[in-house]
């Protein structure tokens, strides 16, 4: 990684490295071990590791929208909340008035002095410019702040 100048390493989705392991092992312990290995790898190599765990899909039978995912719900293990230095979720609310809006929720941040506070931002994706912009809320009122 250092030889090639890699500073950010993204694993998406988590399932690509998540295997069931031994049936006698505790699933949460196995996840915790893997997360700790990823975290150690990042520290040893000066790399920011980003791990993406996708939540389960909404229930299409009832048509109900699930609430924003919590870190402790990711892949059935609270270790995602316990081990991560920064934990965030991206939530897309299905809304006819604002179909391309999302909520970015920083739920945990051990690095507040470097990265800022926990909190929520609402973003909209502009297909024409291929950019995200900050909006006030899910109603898609724009602040005209581009990223």
Q: Do 47 and 4 share a domain, yes or no?
A: yes
Helix boundaries (H) for the chain: 27-45, 79-83, 112-115
Q: Would the pLDDT of 98 be above 80?
A: no
Look over the chain and give the mean of its residue pLDDT values, rounded to a whole number: 77
Instruction: Encode 26-50: b = buried (16+ Cβ within 10 Å), e = exposed.
Output: eeeebbbebbeebeeebeeeebebe
Domain extent at residue 29: 1-84
Q: Do 131 and 61 share a domain, yes or no?
A: no
- What pLDDT sits at residue 99? 65
Q: Would the pLDDT of 130 be above 50?
A: yes
- State which of 84, 99, 129 marks the end of a domain: 84
pLDDT tier at 86, thresholds 50, 70, 90 = confident
Q: Do 2 and 53 share a domain, yes or no?
A: yes
Q: Give CA separation, 84 vs 29, 40, 43, 46, 80, in Å.
A: 15, 11, 13, 16, 6
Q: Would the pLDDT of 58 be above 50?
A: yes
- State which of 63, 84, 105 marks the end of a domain: 84
Q: Do 75 and 117 share a domain, yes or no?
A: no
Q: Do 46 and 101 share a domain, yes or no?
A: no
* pTM attached to this predicted model: 0.69
110: helix, coil or strand? coil
Q: Do 9 and 72 share a domain, yes or no?
A: yes
Q: Do 49 and 98 share a domain, yes or no?
A: no
- What pLDDT sits at residue 145? 39
pLDDT tier at 40, thresholds 50, 70, 90 = very high
Q: How many domains does the chain have?
A: 2
């Amino acid at each position: 990684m250092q030889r090639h100048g890699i500073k950010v390493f993204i694993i998406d989705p988590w399932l690509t490295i998540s295997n069931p392991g031994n049936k006698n092992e505790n699933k949460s312990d196995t996840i915790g071990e893997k997360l700790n290995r990823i975290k150690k790898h990042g520290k040893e190599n000066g790399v920011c590791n980003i791990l993406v765990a996708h939540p389960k899909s909404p229930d299409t039978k009832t048509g109900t929208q699930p609430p924003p995912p919590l870190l402790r719900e990711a892949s059935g293990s609270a270790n995602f909340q316990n081990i991560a230095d920064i934990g965030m979720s991206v939530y897309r609310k299905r809304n006819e008035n604002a179909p391309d809006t999302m909520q970015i929720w920083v739920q945990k941040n051990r690095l507040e002095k470097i990265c800022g506070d926990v909190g929520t931002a609402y973003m909209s994706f502009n297909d024409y410019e291929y950019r995200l912009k900050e909006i006030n809320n899910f109603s898609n009122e724009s602040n005209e702040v581009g990223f």
